[in-house]
Amino acid sequence: MLDLDDTTVVHGIESLPTKRVADAIALAKEKIHVCVATARTIDSAMPVLQHLSLSGPCVLTNGTQIYDPVTNSVVYEVVLPLGILSKVYPLCLARNLKVSIYDGKQDREFKGGSIPEKILTIYIPEIPPADVDELVRILSVDPRVHVQKLTAWDKRFMSIDITHSEASKLHGILEVARILNITTDEIIGVGDGYNDFPLLMACGLKIAMGNAVPELKAIADFIAPTVDEDGVATVIEKFVLQ
């Protein structure tokens, strides 16, 4: 179960895995299911999924969707409770922060007005690092939601992803285990970011990248080389192909 950005690919929407990583995944697929667990939406994850020709169910948008690459369909979806956006947006507006919403198909900036009935995630893309923990604390008061901080695309900033309380990479992995009829002890989890804490906690073998945040390394069973050193290939060579 592989995170994408800064794990399988160098952080960036245009990035694809290196040849060494892609070749290792191709060999691993002959033995096990290789799956993805990412904060990306289906559209932004698709170039990587197609490049790797994965067969295992993939956890998208931090656990709000599971995509089956074999049938090319979303097989699981968790929607935010009604009323969450009307609470989040004024807090962000007062702090001059942009807000993006994802309805399962389209990711767009919300600028006020009528609120869609179906929202899977609310994303606050660029937050000054000094402010992110306070905002997480304020937003986490509502027990109906799961609030996750992430590194923003622009690494000068942090970001926040808000999903249903039962939507995280952990929840998604539990559903993937049910679909594949396996136990979570049989799953290897590999990640680097704050939102990969639930990913690793759901897996039997917990692996943090060499470039991972310290909090993730603290719970890992193994520290892989960095993404620039093809750490995912090393993980596969050590734990799957030997």
> pLDDT tens-digit profile of 214-233?
999 999 999 999 999 999 99
Domains within the chain, CATH numbers bracketed? 19-77+167-239 (3.40.50.1000), 84-164 (3.30.1240.10)
| Contacts within 8 Å (CB) and 24+ apart, 95-101 | 95/131, 95/135, 97/124, 97/126, 97/127, 98/124, 98/125, 98/126, 99/123, 99/124, 100/124, 100/125
Does position 77 have pLDDT exceeding 90, yes or no? Answer: yes
Report pLDDT for 14: 81
pLDDT in tens, 157-206: 999 999 999 999 999 999 999 999 999 999 999 999 999 999 999 999 99
Say what the pTM is. 0.90
User: Which pLDDT does position 109 carry in this prediction?
Assistant: 96
pLDDT band at 59 (very low <50, low <70, confident <90, very high): very high
Q: For residue 68, what pLDDT is reported?
A: 96
Q: Is the pLDDT of residue 11 over 80?
A: no
